[in-house]
Amino acid sequence: MEFSEICEYFDRIESMASRLEMTQILAQMLSKVPAQDMRHVIYLSQGALGPRHHSIEAGLGEGLIVQGIGKATGYQKEEILKMYKEVGDLGTVCQRLAGRKKQRALFSGKLTVEKVFSNFVKISQLSGSGSQDSKLRMFAELINSSGGTEAKYITRIPLGNMRLGIGDPTIMEALALNYTGEFLSDRKMRRKIAEELKEKFDDVPEGEVARKARQRLRAIIEGKYNIFSDLGEIARRLKENGLKGLDEISIQAGTPIRPTLAERLPSSKEIIEKLGKCEVQAKYDGLRVQCHKENGKVTIFSRQSENITPMFPDLVEAVKVQIKAQTAIFEGEALAFNEETEQYFPFQVTITRKRKYDVAQKAIELPLRLFAFDLMFANGENTMPLPFIERGRRLAQIIGKGDTIRIAKSIVTDDAKELEDFFLESIENGLEGIIAKDLNAPYIAGARKFAWIKLKRSYKGELNDSVDLTIIGYFRGRGKRAQFGLGGLLTAVYDEKSDTFRSVTKIGTGMSEQMLSELESKLSKIAKKQKPARVESDIIPDVWTEPKYVIEVVADEITRSPMHTAGAQKGSPGYALRFPRMIKFREKRAEESTSVAEIIEMHKKQGTRQVESPKDGPGAQGPQRI
């Protein structure tokens, strides 16, 4: 199939606001894709080169793509960057510049989907000395074989951001649309659906049957995707064998399951109102891991279904030893643990675990604990449909003796006060909060369905201090933020000793579109060509501003920072905010914003965290009590 044909559909989808119409156009496109191109088309639509667990990455980010556009079009880096700041999308930049190329290129025949995909796979495989140049050459070659529309999408693909307005759910919906006919051609199924609808309608409209069938098929496709994690392959099987192509997809150790996500609520009371009696688990601040045991083989997947087994040789061993089942899939939160002090390390320490070199050595320095919290598969049985309470029982049964793997701490309650006490106890012990789980719910993969609800300290205003920060600059927006001329802020705390404003965080969320406009209009009036004299920041915004406006900001945590200058001294790092979000403008003078001293004080008060690590390394954080 020609790549340009796909790009024409992409363009139509991108310009469409209506979800329903987008889905229809996508369905139409997919109906035209031959089986041998199907996986590629799906992956490219997702801005990817394969499912997450296959880890095929182009290795071309913004920086290299800017170079690549230069190579392809003959424009200077500066010109490209300037245009990027204005339009907010490198694909559009490439499309425009390729249209008025300085070097007239050889338009060498038509690009096929196969050609584009295989070139990106080749790009992804290049490594070692000189590889960046080779990648850029191949990228430029693709651009120079393209028309403008193709250039736009060829640019967006390696960046992983297609800006089409379609994600996995829309792709599944489109597939369901395309196979509803086949689904209903099964007489039994049609009759069954018609029967069910008779309860609602005296005279069942044909459209209703189709709609209900589509919903049911969507659920089937989603169910398969949830245990298979490869939408391209699902679409290919459908194309090749129709609905029976899905039959062979079943839960299997070694193939990641899309993890359940949690919703949020701001109080214990609301959680109980929503769930009634529920299990309340401690929420540990580490890495969420999905462990697969298949006889002697263990694979570990991340929350995004990446294969991260190489990071955890110790956990692999523990699964082999401690899990009393031939095959199993279970989930938990992995954290670094200090065996001497019996304390858990904060996330920033856990994440320093190595991925490739000196893995074993680091694993000894920072041993792990795994708090298991759910079970999806055991001894050949899919446990996902079982009620949570039963999965929990079985999980406890298969965890054998050992230090590494244990069950997450939890209580069962239908009382808001009890839940609140457990939450507060968790907070006091330095944990993130709690997750409440519906006792009767199955494992609902890949969805936020209020079966799991999280409550963190930062959701509760009375437990979480906000800070007042001075805006010292801003960044141009990308994508739909480009139209506002502002996509984020650079903010600072006030250092009384030196009368300077020192950067502490960028802010990119919490502001409405109206607020973005207001910010741009206010800040552009006090823009400065250079960094103002009283500002200390290693991060350079697109536009510096006079330190004047103060905003209220909420964050989950204060961390030591290698990038921000707030509180930084020679040889010791500064401070930053974790998960910052803007709340509102404050009517204050810049000098009245939160001070460096206050930030340091707030950092000290977080749990029992220390500034120095046990090894006295700079920037490291100490353990927290549990």
Partner DNA sequence: TATGACTGCCC
Partner DNA sequence: ATTCTGC
Partner DNA sequence: GCAGAATGGGCAGTCATA
Question: Is position 373 annotated in a ligand binding site?
Answer: yes
| 478 binding DNA? (CB under 7 A) | yes
Q: Is 237 one of the annotated binding-site residues?
A: no
Q: Is 308 in the site for DNA (CB under 7 A)?
A: yes
Picking from 435, 450, 458, the residue whose alpha carbon sits closest to that of residue 332 is: 435
Q: Which amino acid is at 76?
A: Q
Q: Which is nearer to DNA, 325 or 349 (CB)?
A: 349
| Binding residue (CB under 7 A) for DNA from 405, 511, 543, 596 | 511
Q: CA-to-CA distance for 341 and 354, rounded, in angstroms?
A: 22
Spell out, one character per residue from 309 to 328, where the chain touches DNA: x when CB under 7 A holds, - when not. Answer: --------------------
Judged by CB under 7 A, the stretch of 113-121, 191-199, 244-252, 512-520 that binds DNA is 512-520
Is residue 505 near DNA by the rule CB under 7 A?
yes
Binder among 121, 197, 563, 611 for DNA (CB under 7 A): 563
Q: Of the two residues 327 and 374, which places its CB atom closer to DNA in the complex?
A: 374
Site for DNA in 436-475 (CB under 7 A): 447-449, 456, 458, 475
CA distances from 225 to 67, 110, 218, 378 (A): 37, 33, 10, 20
Residue 303 assigned to a binding site: yes
Nearest-5° Cα angle at 58, 53 to 59: 105
The helix/strand/coil state of 275 is helix
> In whole angstroms, how close is the CB of 74 to DNA at the nearest point?
18
d(CA 110, CA 410) in angstroms, rounded, equals: 60
Q: Is 96 annotated as a binding residue?
A: no
| 554-572 CB burial, b ≥16 within 10 A, e <16 | bbbbbbbbeebbbbbeeee
Task: Let me know: does 110 contact 81? Beta carbons within 8 Å.
Answer: no
**Tokens for 273?**
């109102």
Least distance to DNA from the beta carbon of 3, Å?
A: 20
- Work out how close the CB of 254 gets to DNA at its nearest, in angstroms, rounded to a whole number: 17
Measured distance between the N- and C-terminal CA atoms of the chain, rounded to whole angstroms:
58
Per-residue binding letters, 402-441, with DNA (x by CB under 7 A): ----------------------------------------
Among positions 328-367, residues that touch DNA (CB under 7 A) are 347-348, 351-359
Tokens of residue 57, six digits: 């990455």
**Alpha carbons 415 and 478: distance in angstroms, whole number:** 46
Catalytic residue among 135, 212, 283, 409, which?
A: 283
Q: Does residue 158 touch DNA according to CB under 7 A?
A: yes
Tell me: does residue 168 bind DNA (CB under 7 A): yes
Task: Establish whether 448 is an annotated binding residue.
Answer: yes
Residues 100-139 close enough to bind DNA by CB under 7 A: 126-133
Report which residue type is found at 395: L
DSSP-derived secondary structure for 96-121: HHHHT-SSPPP--SPPBHHHHHHHHH
Binding of residue 71 to DNA (CB under 7 A): no
**Shortest reach from residue 455's CB to DNA, in Å:** 10
How far is the C-alpha of 551 from the C-alpha of 443, rounded, in Å? 41
* Integer angstrom CA distances of residue 255 from 247, 300, 378, 595: 16, 10, 14, 50
d(CA 621, CA 609): 7
Find the shortest distance in angstroms from Cβ 166 to DNA. Answer: 4
* C-beta of 402 vs 619, nearer to DNA: 619
CB 441 within 8 A of CB 387: yes
306 binds DNA (CB under 7 A): yes
Nearer to DNA, 130 or 296 (CB): 130
Cβ 198 to DNA, closest distance in Å? Answer: 27
Q: Where are the alpha helices (DSSP H) in 284-333?
A: 313-322
Site for DNA in 197-236 (CB under 7 A): none
Using CB under 7 A as the binding rule, whether residue 285 contacts DNA is answered as yes
Active site residue 115: no
Residues designated catalytic: 283
Residues annotated in the binding site for ATP, as ranges?
Answer: 288, 303, 333, 373, 448, 454
